[in-house]
Structure 1
Amino acid sequence: MTVLVSSFCEETCGQTPDAAPAWAARIDALEAEVAALRQVTDTEVVPARHESPWMEGCDSCLPQSSLASPSQYPSVKVTGFFQADAGWFHQDAANIVAVGDIQDGADFRRARLAATGDVAENVGYNVEFDFGFPGRPSFMDVWLEVRDTAWLGDVKIGHFRHPIGLGGLTSVKELTFIERGLPFAFLPFRQIGAMTSGADEEAGRTWALSGFRFPTDAFGGQIGDNGGYGLATRVTQVIAEDSNGGVVHIGGAYSLIDPSNDAVRYRSQPEFFIAETGGAAFVPAGIPSSVPPFVDTGVIATNKSHLFAAELATTSGSFHAQSEFIHAMVNRFGGSTVGFSGVSAQAGYILTGEHRPYNRKAGVLGRVVPNSNFGKCGYGAWEIAGRWSMLDLNDADIRGGRLNTSTLGLNWYLNKHAKFQFNYIHAFLDSPVNGDSDANIFAMRAQVDF
């Protein structure tokens, strides 16, 4: 080093070799100072903290160096999906009188874009909007989540699905049929609120408890001093399982709702839905521009309603099945308490041999993934399924009607992210005003998600 410095000084500074030792000494001193600084920064730095049960066992999480490494947060992943539906209707004369002459049609049932990710190791978020749902775009799952808290499990705050209903908590991307069963009509579903939840995946157990404002609009908003609150809770348990992934699942749920508008209303279409769009202007006057409700309680004045739910599910080999029962009790102003019920039972069999897995974190049946994708070397996965659903909205002087549906389904999974669904739905309507009637619906869906 001394030789190099001497040459440098002779060429650039005009100094003689006798001055080299002074330059070398200064450089050696600088090198020593840098080495000392490195030794300090490599020493473990433990920030001062107060003892707390929240910090037990966290010494390994504390920073090991004061030199900050580049952060991997916030992270972001863009996701989305769409469902394009088409439906054809055949009604008998009595059904046309009861609900109107329903037109054949096509629509984007859902068209969603979302951004999801983490802002820290234990804090995640999701921001999802639907461009096919009324509101256009509407808020879907918009929330932040703090995971693995000391006593509360995972804590979620925002706009999301609340914990009641096996069908309601199954992702719409993973439904066996085009729509959820008729008991779905009772659910508070997405509202703005907070939820604590957890899962013991090894034991096959989940739990959740949420509080929310009710009812919210398509953008998650809710304003009102007169009530406007609700709670929901759900527990599930795997009671039997085998070495091949087969399980038997049971669950129960409860929800209490105090609506801000002092009213509730339950109604439902026959498991197929086409939303009213701008093109409805071309439908002749008096003709329904969407699938109308077949059963409807009308507005019921109340300050409190209760939902009780029970569920059963199983998956074994290529077979899977699930059922649920939901009962609603409404405490009316100036009248007796009324009760309404919904039940559904469904089963499916995957003809190509795949297994529908069980989602132990959510306590629902998961996604069918083909063993071989559709293409030169495969045909994807094919599934047949059947379902019966019933919704009874008659009690005391509330005569909302009774609806039964029988559905046959054929699903073609091209790959993990794309599928076609074909449903034949036979609806039996018992209307207190118009008597019995029937409708046949042929429906299909194309879906892709990413």
Structure 2
Amino acid sequence: MTRTRAIATAILTVLIGAGTGSALFAEDAPLASGGDSAVWAADATGPFADDASHSAEGAEPAGYYDMPEPPAEDPLAELQQKFDALASEWEDHKEELDKKAADAKKKPTFHIGGRIHLDYWSFPHASPGIGFFEHSDPGDADFGADPEDAFRFRRIRLEMRGDILETMNYRLQIDFAAPGVGEMKDVWVGFKELPGNQDLRIGNQKRPLGLDHLNSSRFNVFLERPFVIETFNSDARRLGITMYGNNSDDSLGWAYGVYNLENIKSDGEYRGDSLQLSGNARLFGSPWYDQTSGGRGYWHWGIAGMVARPDGDSGPVDENSNEARFNTRPEARSESSWLDTGRIAGAEWYEILGFESIVNVGPVQVTGEYQLNWVQRDNTGPDLFYHGAYIYVGYFLTGEHIPYNRGSGTIGRVKPFENFFLVDRCFGGHGTGWGAWQVAARYSYLDVSDADVLGGVGHSITGALNWHWTAYSKLQMNAIYGEIDEHAAVGGFTEGDYFIFGARVAIDF
């Protein structure tokens, strides 16, 4: 019996190998200390010798149970060894990443972006006067003809931006919406992190005047900007130099700079003996910004000013044009400006003062601006005063909100709670996501008629429906009713009214 148990012990030891603990069967079969798992016998006959001969001796042969003891392995030690190996590999990887980051700072960075805005515009109603404001040249065959419906690309922009090492940056943005003509938008180089928490930009850039102009066209609630914004800061961008700054918690910000008045988007240069400069400044703040809700509640205020020196005496032989002109389209993409002072003869100076405000509470936003414009002339005619304003209310039916950028004092990108999608389900039916839905209404007013310069007085009401498919794509629709009066007579008409419908598919990347 004893020998049978010994044989079984030896077989089990061979099967479980060196990985088992040495305590198994310790009472009856002590294990030897070695690496071999074979059973060592004390004589030539081995474990299969005659039972009687061994039992007569009364004891098992010496060394009968001796066999090598498997090495004792500590699982925790093995785990620690693997952990140390992983830690070493991670340190090597981190050093490689740090080296790449350090090398990257030695080279300018490069990022590509862009946007596509495809519009449809329809003019289902236009009174006779509107046709003459749209086609106002008596020498043209379509003089006085009604505005025509149109599909058109409003914007096709590509941009490149990045950093030049650690203290400079740049942006290059070109619009290709006009066939065969590339138009400069933002083309500037900058110095960042200057003393006083300020940045400096030199080049073609937006002048700090008018909240709705400073808001990106990617984020604006309506298809086109209000009368007053386009009139007093047409196209916004000019060649100049701007300093931007903020206080430590971004509750207060400012921008100021000097610019040339002429829009050089198509030819990239200004020529003329008169510099035609303007000085601009903007101060803004957000005394209430609800950090707890992620910025779903805030109040923005701002005040901006501009002092400009146009060349009111420029003539046909001058290479520069008189930039004292205030004009705008009907908050839609018509061919011509329907409110237009023309170039104001004798204009020597003009000053613009603007006020802006946003109140946002969750899905509701109320925004408005008011701007005043004083024009001083020489003895060509009396001084002039123009002004305009707008207010709008927006509401998200699906509960989202319009974010706010405290650093720039502008609105940001809407992010739907759920993106729009429509797909087939694996087990039948369809899966859908609604995206974000917003409705908005705007009233806009502009008066650019005074004394002998009659650009017209405009009133406009716009209703908007915006369907945000994703944070980077949307469908916008506007319905616009407007009236114009006190306009200089064109074809015998000084007033008119209109109804316009517009739609846009917009994406950006």
Fold agreement, TM-score > 0.5: yes
Residue identity matched to 1:223: R
Q: SS where residue 386 of structure 2 aligns? A: strand
Report what 1:277 is aligned to: none
Distance 2:217 2:191 in 1: 24
CA distance in 1, matches of 2:205, 2:399: 34
Q: CA separation in 1, counterparts of 2:261 and 2:269?
A: 9
Q: Distance in 1 between matches of 2:102 and 2:362?
A: 47
SS in 2 for 1:144: strand
Show structure 1 runs of 5+ residues with no match. 1-64, 275-289
Select between 301-310 and 136-145 the one with higher mean Cα deviation. 301-310
Q: Give the superposition deviation at 1:94.
A: 4.0
> What's 1:307 paired with?
352
Give the Å deviation of 1:347: 1.2
Task: Give the letter aligned to residue 70 of structure 1.
Answer: D
- Partner of 1:174, secondary structure, is coil
Tell me: CA distance 1:69–1:160, structure 2 relative to 1, closer, same or farther (3 Å).
closer
- TM-superposed CA distance for 1:214, in Å, is 1.9
Name the structure 1 match of 2:409: 363
State the alpha-carbon separation in 2 of the partners of residues 316 and 296 from structure 1: 37
Gaps of 5+ in 2: 1-98, 135-143, 312-320, 422-430
Normalising to structure 2: TM-score of the pair? 0.69
Counterpart of 2:8 in structure 1 is none
1: CA distance, partners of 2:279 / 2:373? 14
Are residues 1:298 and 2:314 paired?
A: no
> Is contact 2:362-2:400 (8 Å) kept?
yes
Q: How far apart in 1 are the matches of 2:340 and 2:322?
A: 18
Matched residues in 2 for 1:104 and 1:337: separation? Answer: 39
* TM-score, normalised relative to structure 1: 0.78
After TM superposition, give the deviation of residue 216 of structure 1 in Å: 3.2
Match of 1:209 in 2: 256
The question of 1:323 aligning with 2:368 is answered yes
Write out per-residue CA displacement over residues 131-171 of structure 1, whole angstroms, 9 at most, x where no aligned residue: 01588201100111111112471001110101110111000
Counterpart-to-counterpart distance in 1, 2:118 and 2:147:
19
Q: Is the 8 A contact 1:215 1:259 kept in 2?
A: no
Q: Deviations over 1:288-313 (max 9, x none)?
A: xx2x2221112102121111101111
1:82 is aligned to 116
> Which structure dedicates a bigger proportion of its chain to strand?
1
Partner of 2:52 in structure 1?
A: none
Kindly state the Cα deviation for residue 435 of structure 1 after the two structures are TM-superposed: 4.1
Q: Give, in whole Å, the separation in 2 of the partners of 1:135 and 1:266.
A: 27
TM alignment of 1:68-79, pairs within 5 A: 70-72=103-105, 73-79=107-113
In the alignment, structure 1 residue 415 sits paired with structure 2 residue 463: no
- CA shift in 2, pair 1:135/1:426, >3 Å: farther
1:212 corresponds to which letter in structure 2?
A: Y
Q: Distance in 2 between matches of 1:360 and 1:370?
A: 21
Q: Secondary structure at 2:279's aligned position in 1?
A: strand
Is the 8 Å Cα contact of residues 262 and 303 (structure 1) preserved in structure 2? no
Contact kept in structure 2, 1:134 and 1:218, CA below 8 Å: no
After superposition, residues 135-174 of structure 1 pair within 5 angstroms as 136-151=181-196, 153-174=198-219
Aligned-partner Cα distance in 1 for 2:288–2:179: 41
1:382-421 matches, within 5 Å, as 382-421=437-476
Per-residue CA deviation, residues 200-225 of structure 1 (Å, 9 max, x unaligned), is: 36252110001112213224421222
Partners of 2:244 and 2:459 in 1: CA distance: 34
- Tell which deviates more after alignment, 197-206 or 298-307: 197-206
Structure 1 consecutive aligned stretches of length 4 or more whose deviation exceeds 6 Å: none
Query: Sequence identity, in percent?
Result: 31
Q: 1:219-274 CA distances to partner (integer Å, 9 max, x unpaired)? A: 44212222321111000011333342211111100011112544411111110115
In 2, are the aligned partners of 1:314 and 1:321 still within 8 Å (CA)? yes
1:250 alignment counterpart: 301
SS in 2 for 1:95: helix
Greater Rg over alpha carbons, structure: 2
What secondary structure sits across from 1:372 in the alignment? coil
- Structure-to-structure mapping, 1:98-247, within 5 angstroms: 98-99=133-134, 100=144, 101-133=146-178, 136-151=181-196, 153-184=198-229, 185-187=231-233, 189-200=236-247, 202-219=249-266, 220-242=268-290, 243-244=292-293, 245=295, 246-247=297-298
Amino acid at match of 1:186: F
3-state SS of paired residue (1:264): coil
How many residue pairs are counted as aligned between the two chains?
370
Q: Does 1:272 align with 2:332?
A: yes
